[in-house]
Amino acid sequence: MGAYIAGSGTCLPPNIVTNDDLAAIMDTTDEWIQSRSGVRQRHIANVGVGSAELGANAVLASLDDAGLSVNDVDVLISATMTPDHFAPGNAPLIQDRAGLGAIAAHEIRQQCGGFLYGLDLADALIAAERAETVVVVGSEVHRGYMPFGASIHRLLGTSTAPVTDEDYATATASRAWSVLFGDGAAALVLRPGPTDAGILATTLHTDGSLFELIHVPAPGFVNQPWSSTAQIEAGLHQPSMSGGELFRNAVRLMPQAIRTVLETYGATVADLDLVLAHQANQRILDGIAKQLDVDPAIVASNIADYGNTTAATLPLLWHDTKNDGRVPAGTLLAFTAFGAGAHWGAALYREPAAVTS
Ligand SMILES: CC(C)(COP(=O)(O)OP(=O)(O)OC[C@H]1O[C@@H](n2cnc3c(N)ncnc32)[C@H](O)[C@@H]1OP(=O)(O)O)[C@@H](O)C(=O)NCCC(=O)NCCS
């Protein structure tokens, strides 16, 4: 018995930053960003708003959509790489803010692969009958990483002060990665599904030898002290990314994982109606379509509107495609993700006919 998606909800900060807004604070262009990544705009949370707040709102919206209450939730699984606090992470903050009661709340740290790992865990708990209703939430506020200095206030609409040369230079030095990310949260409610529907097969992988392809070097407890101004001055608190290598691995490993779950279930690529892949770059999505030899139209995309929201991309994409009417009963789709760790994998899913419970 596979777990099925009984509801979804999102929370996006209202402030939208366009590529032209970024071009006003660093040396970049709308043309470069759109042609290299597909991103047109991203939401950026106001200072003081953290990923736990967005995550809790998304959880409540997903329960509302499922017609359930906070008392129905047995387990919460929170995935983020940008928790409000280094410890204890977001799970307890989201549990408390959403008013879920003293249930088990897992915190998982698989970055762009986080939501997929959460889905697999939810499915396993439900299949083992250790939980009936599990909410998986991905939430991120990347804003704190952005080395934009005082220019962040221009992006948030809270200042019109001119951009200083120093802030312009620092922001430009980050342009290869900072233009790709956005803030937001989304949650899915998982419940026991009917036979031959819901999650049909999953595969998860980790290769830690690839961890340096994208990582945040500091702070960290391998250092003494674990956090220091020297680390910040050296920019070690910001992501270090080998974009090209990531790109090549993502295009190779996500289609491979999709083929694995199809084979496990006994289906073929030709049976797929939809692919919901982690939204890191439109060219990666096009690469997935090419590798699988499917119509690019079945590889859904909303990266233009949100950028890469790390752990939130898959539930955001589910929410949008479902609400666009692209997931009618019977739809066979594959979730897939690849990200920092490296962690990657896929989940095969069939949308059930309306479930009554
Ligand atoms: C990051 C990424 C968009 C870069 O695209 P790319 O086509 O490989 O671009 P390159 O890194 O080769 O850069 C090409 C040029 O554009 C410049 N450039 C980089 N960012 C720029 C920006 N925002 N605006 C303008 N120019 C930029 C570079 O400096 C480089 O200039 P040069 O040729 O004079 O040195 C792409 O590699 C990618 O998306 N990788 C995967 C990233 C990812 O998945 N990250 C999250 C992990 S889950």
Structure token digits, residue 51: 């990923």
Structure token digits, residue 229: 């101004």
> Looking at ligand 1, which residue's alpha carbon is closest to its atom 27?
176
The string of pLDDT tens digits covering residues 145-188 is 999 999 999 999 999 999 999 999 999 999 999 999 999 999 99
CA of 86 to the centre of ligand 1 (A): 29
Average the pLDDT over 220-225 and give the result: 94
Q: Judge residue 233's burial from the number of C-beta atoms within 10 Å of its C-beta, 0-12 exposed, 13-18 middle, 19 or more buried.
A: exposed
CA of 33 to the centre of ligand 1 (A): 9
Mutual angle of helices 30-37 and 282-292, in 10-degree steps: 20
The string of pLDDT tens digits covering residues 67-91 is 999 999 999 999 999 999 999 999 9
CA of 269 to the centre of ligand 1 (A): 31
Average the pLDDT over 45-71 and give the result: 98
> Above pLDDT 70, what percent of the chain?
99
CA of 207 to the centre of ligand 1 (A): 24
> Looking at ligand 1, which residue's alpha carbon is closest to its atom 5?
36
- Mean pLDDT of the residues in the chain: 96
- In the predicted structure, residue 356 carries a pLDDT above the cut 70: no
What does residue 93 show for φ and ψ, rounded to 5 degrees? -70, -40
- In the predicted structure, residue 4 carries a pLDDT above the cut 90: yes
Ligand 1 pocket, residues with Cβ under 6 angstroms: 28, 32-33, 36-37, 112, 175-176, 179, 214, 241, 243-244, 246-247, 250, 280-281, 308, 339
pLDDT at 329: 96
> Looking at ligand 1, which residue's alpha carbon is closest to its atom 25?
28
- In the predicted structure, residue 92 carries a pLDDT above the cut 80: yes
The string of pLDDT tens digits covering residues 285-314 is 999 999 999 999 999 999 999 999 999 999
Q: pLDDT-derived band of residue 355, with 50, 70 and 90 as boundaries?
A: confident
Tell which one of 17, 35, 36 to mutate to probe ligand 1, the residue whose CB is within 8 A of the most ligand atoms.
36
pLDDT at 2: 80
308 is catalytic: yes
pLDDT at 164: 97
The string of pLDDT tens digits covering residues 182-211 is 999 999 999 998 888 999 999 999 999 999
Rounded CA gap, 98 and 96, in Å? 5
Phi-psi region of 27 (alpha: psi -120 to 50; beta: other; left: phi over 0): beta
112 is catalytic: yes
Peptide bond into 352 cis (omega under 30): no
pLDDT at 291: 98
Instruction: Identify the CA nearest to 8 among candidates 318, 346, 357, 343.
Output: 318
pLDDT at 1: 66
Rounded CA gap, 94 and 98, in Å? 6
The full set of domains in the chain, from first to last, is 3-192 (3.40.47.10), 198-350 (3.40.47.10)
Identify the H or E element spanning 21: helix 19-23
The string of pLDDT tens digits covering residues 255-291 is 999 999 999 999 999 999 999 999 999 999 999 999 9
Question: Can you state the percent helix, strand and coil of the chain, rounding each to 5?
Answer: 40, 20, 35
11 is catalytic: no
- In the predicted structure, residue 357 carries a pLDDT above the cut 70: no
Phi-psi region of 268 (alpha: psi -120 to 50; beta: other; left: phi over 0): beta
pLDDT at 196: 87
Phi-psi region of 99 (alpha: psi -120 to 50; beta: other; left: phi over 0): left
